[in-house]
Structure 1
Amino acid sequence: MSQLRIPFHEKVAYGLGNFMPTAITATGGMAMYFYTDVAGLSAAFIGALLLLVRIVDAVWDIFVGRRVDATRTRWGQARPYLLWFAPVVSIALVASFTVPPLEGLARTVYFVLAYVALWCSYSLIMIPFQSLLPMIAPDPDVRLRMAGVSSFVQFLFVVGCAAGFPIMKDVLSDGVPAQGFQRAALLFGGLGLLFTWLCFAFVRERVAPMSGPRADLKADLRALVGSRAWRAGVLAQCALGTLIGLPLAAGVYYFAAVIGKPQLIGPFMGLGGVGLVLGVVLSDQLTRRLCKKRVYVGSMLAAALLLTGLTLGGPDRLPLVFVLSLLANICLGVSAPISYSMNGDIADDIECRDGKRVVGTLIATINFASKVGAGLCSAIVGLVLSVTAYHAGAPEQAPQALQGVVALMSVIPAVVALGVAAIMGWAYPLGRAQLSQMNEQLGQRRAAAAA
């Protein structure tokens, strides 16, 4: 264990930095409804807009990651972005949920620009924020403890934002839906600005950037691709994005068509959030005693077993459905801070092997893999529903359609969880012994460079 001790208030302050990204992703679930039912745009147009944002995102994230790696200021590399761009994100969030006094093409152009600006500014906060962790905590064990506190706070924000935004947009509407959305966005944007600036004020970067000219993008990408840990991490993060998204996307269909009680989807999601928080607490205890790589693999295997058990659920076995889902989410919560801290471990591995510090670019590629996983999740759900002849809104579904929905909640995510376990167990090379040796080597190099 490292002798470095990061104050608890700094860990909490870092966790507060999760609010702004969480608020944007949580309110993203309401964006489709806002643009179609409040702003009056067509669903086809909104679908095209979301695709456009993803394409822009893919290029923009790499650019932001490169800029973080190249930044040198008296505040550090990543912290300045939290100071500079938090107001931009807040303004973009409010603009995205504001209906302007415009008509026709002018209104359409406004919404396109506002939504693209929101997600581009989101990257200007999210990538530097995630890049901060290996800069704050140079030691893998300390980094893991800090990731645990951050994940705990993040999951509290997930539950609060997912439930809070729909409530506040109704409370603040005064009978005018557009006004409710705008005021709720203003409230969440203001809180995000406050929490992001608190994160900036109370955390500090302890790992100095490497001296010398920055390598070009091709050289940095070669360093990433040459890392076995990065290759495994990208594959695992892509699969994890799919795994987390499947129950969320299929849950509505499951409770509406299979269980016959769509009103239970809210309690089901809320219980899932509780499971994630409990998993983070358990993760801290397990990783203090065991190798975090083994804990990660074990949590994925346990999640696969529990998800498979959901095939035994049904309308007459609701307690079993809720208990198995709670336990599966606890397993996913166990893996969350480990997955988060592994980004810093991979950055250290590349620095130790190639002498390159490419944290921002690494985070950008990991985020892109997660987005690809989320896209695969949507494709899998759509494919299964199509192949099994699911009819939207029909009071009765064919048996094969019901089986397809059950598979989306159980067998399919279980197979994905097994895939994550296999990748991390066989392909990911950084166990406790390797991390200890690598940390010692980097400590000596950095001490020599500082001298």
Structure 2
Amino acid sequence: MSQTVHPHAALPQPLSSASGPTGTGMAPGAPPLREQLAYGLGNFMPTAVTATGGMAMFFYTDVAGLSAAFIGALLLLVRIGDAVWDIGVGRRVDATRTAQGQARPYLLWCAPLLALALVASFSIPAGLGETARHAWVVIAYVALWCGYSLVQIPYQSLLPLVAPDPDHRLRMAGVSSLVQFIFVIGCAAGFPMLKDALSDGDPARGFQRAALAYAGVGLAFTWLCYAGVRERVLAPPASTRGSLGPDLRALTGNRCWRVGIAVQCVLGVLIGLPLSAGVYYFTAVVQQPQLIGPFMGLGGIGLVLGVLLSDRLTRRWCKRRVFILACAAAAVLQCGYLLPGLGAVPAVFVLGLLCNVCLGLSAPISASMNGDIADAVEHDSGRRVVGTLVATVNFASKVGAGLVSAIVGLTLSLSHYQAGAAAQSDLARHGVLALMSVIPALAALGVALLLAHAYPLDRAALQRLRDELARRRALQAAAQPHTH
């Protein structure tokens, strides 16, 4: 026996003009802690790829003996090609319908491809001619980042599918961010040490063995993530799936998506600038370049502390408000690098720690935004386009990361920074200070203003979304043919 109920009957007005209950109904039970931890384990493989990416240039030039110009062009072209590839991967996630869900199957079947590509990208077979060596690197590096997208985009799409309730999604994003930052510290510090320990006097062998170890651990953790989580959101009916055009119109016509894209782009600048400028700051201003490693390590601790504090604050206050205050505080703290006499090492380390606490505060909230925006798009258009949404957000983050390189290069050039010089001019030091202070402060202020004046998803709005989508999904489930 079946009944006919259109799953998107009585669509309400867009969120900006929605009215009705504030959403005090009971939400489904939160995913248990073991499932949240299993989801967090899925961070390891993407983190390993990005963390070891910093060693890739050195491996190809100093170990493999390839041209720096060739490798630089390759890295740039691969990142440009990411935009089209990522959209394609997001589309496949949105179109996938299996007994295991939409996103989980990619963790099972694509993680081995990424693991193999990671090992291949740090392995160049002996005896190859120059042309063959270049061809190997091109194929391996392209495969690495294609495989990265095949795992990372489904993994990020998984969060709103596993945790439909906005509050539960935020809690799960907090656990995931905590695990991720632990992985970031471990991967960034561990890979260089591991490749030295496993080299047996041959740097190439050390890189290959370290990559093999990271690939093995990453594959195991990704499969544990696959096995430990389950998708709870019912896939939309065929009538809501179609060509790219309608889905992109559903995204671009949504205010939350437009603001979210801008936030992620500017956030990429805010996060990336101190990381890129830190080495210049400790070289030209503090004049103790050996301290950059401990400074970054302490920053990682600050991120972890921020994630832990974020969980407590967002249980009491609206997460949008916490995000705004965290960015406003980051803007003030970044300007602290301009204070006279701050070159003293203890003060610099304390300031860096506090700035990273602010970034850690915002990390779980930022991670949960994809699901919130997907809910808003589904609410307004009736279309569930999580994979495509994640792909566009990832691209915005990559644009922000690309802007970091442009900003750093332009600022250093305009301030006449002399690479390798023991002493820099006052203008050069001011340029480096701007990269650590004024420019990231403006980025943080920009994020705060965008969230405060253009992003409508506060706690009450998210509760309305939760209740309305739960009602629609119940109608959708009732409309599915079934027999007794």
3-state DSSP of counterpart to 1:221? helix
Question: CA–CA distance in 2 between the matches of 1:389 and 1:11?
Answer: 49
Q: CA deviation at 1:314?
A: 5.1
Over 3 Å counting, the alpha-carbon distance change for 1:403 and 1:75 in structure 2 is same
AA aligned to 2:65 is G
Of residues 91, 109, 113 in structure 1, which corresponds to 2:139? Answer: 113
Q: CA deviation at 1:10?
A: 0.3
Equivalence for 2:108 = 83
- Tell me whether 310-319 or 14-23 shows the greater mean CA deviation: 310-319
Over 3 Å counting, the alpha-carbon distance change for 1:313 and 1:273 in structure 2 is farther
1:13 aligns with 2:38: yes
Equivalence for 2:18 = none
Equivalence for 1:403 = 430
Question: CA–CA distance in 1 between the matches of 2:439 and 2:424?
Answer: 20
AA aligned to 1:43 is A
Q: CA deviation at 1:90?
A: 0.4
Q: What runs of 5+ residues in structure 2 fail to find an aligned partner?
A: 1-25, 479-484
Question: CA–CA distance in 2 between the matches of 1:191 and 1:20?
Answer: 8
Q: CA deviation at 1:173?
A: 0.2
Q: CA deviation at 1:52?
A: 1.1
Equivalence for 1:232 = 259
Paired residues in the alignment total 451
1:263 aligns with 2:263: no
Of residues 43, 53, 61 in structure 2, which corresponds to 1:28? Answer: 53
Question: CA–CA distance in 2 between the matches of 1:329 and 1:157?
Answer: 16
Q: CA deviation at 1:42?
A: 1.0
1:286 aligns with 2:313: yes
Of residues 180, 187, 192 in structure 1, which corresponds to 2:218? Answer: 192
1:309 aligns with 2:336: yes
Q: What runs of 5+ residues in structure 1 fail to find an aligned partner?
A: none
Of residues 145, 152, 155 in structure 1, which corresponds to 2:171? Answer: 145
1:442 aligns with 2:469: yes
Mapping for residues 87-106 of structure 1, pairs under 5 Å? 87-101=112-126, 102-106=128-132
| 8 Å Cα contact 1:260/1:315 also seen in 2 | no
Equivalence for 2:72 = 47
Equivalence for 2:188 = 162
Q: CA deviation at 1:315?
A: 6.9
3-state DSSP of counterpart to 1:288? helix
Of residues 339, 353, 378 in structure 1, which corresponds to 2:405? Answer: 378
3-state DSSP of counterpart to 1:72? coil
| 8 Å Cα contact 2:277/2:432 also seen in 1 | yes
Larger of the two Rg values belongs to structure = 2
Question: CA–CA distance in 1 between the matches of 2:170 and 2:341?
Answer: 38
Of residues 342, 349, 352 in structure 1, which corresponds to 2:379? Answer: 352
Of residues 206, 229, 237 in structure 2, which corresponds to 1:203? Answer: 229
1:66 aligns with 2:91: yes
Q: CA deviation at 1:5?
A: 2.3
Equivalence for 1:177 = 203
| 8 Å Cα contact 2:286/2:344 also seen in 1 | no
Show CA shifts across 1:125-145 (max 9, x none). 000000000000110000000
Higher helix share: 1
Question: CA–CA distance in 2 between the matches of 1:144 and 1:230?
Answer: 18
Q: CA deviation at 1:153?
A: 0.2
Equivalence for 1:338 = 365
Q: CA deviation at 1:418?
A: 0.3
| 8 Å Cα contact 1:313/1:321 also seen in 2 | no
Equivalence for 1:275 = 302
Q: CA deviation at 1:2?
A: 3.1
Question: CA–CA distance in 2 between the matches of 1:353 and 1:31?
Answer: 44
Equivalence for 2:268 = 241
Mapping for residues 406-425 of structure 1, pairs under 5 Å? 406-425=433-452
Equivalence for 2:325 = 298
Question: CA–CA distance in 2 between the matches of 1:286 and 1:191?
Answer: 33
Calculate the TM-score normalised by the size of structure 1: 0.99
Q: CA deviation at 1:316?
A: 4.7
Calculate the TM-score normalised by the size of structure 2: 0.92
The percentage of counterpart residues that share the same residue type is 68
Higher relative contact order by CA 8 Å / sep ≥ 6: 1 or 2? 2
Of residues 329, 338, 345 in structure 2, which corresponds to 1:318? Answer: 345
Measured on the aligned residues, the alpha-carbon RMSD in Å equals 0.9
AA aligned to 1:396 is A
Question: CA–CA distance in 2 between the matches of 1:118 and 1:376?
Answer: 23
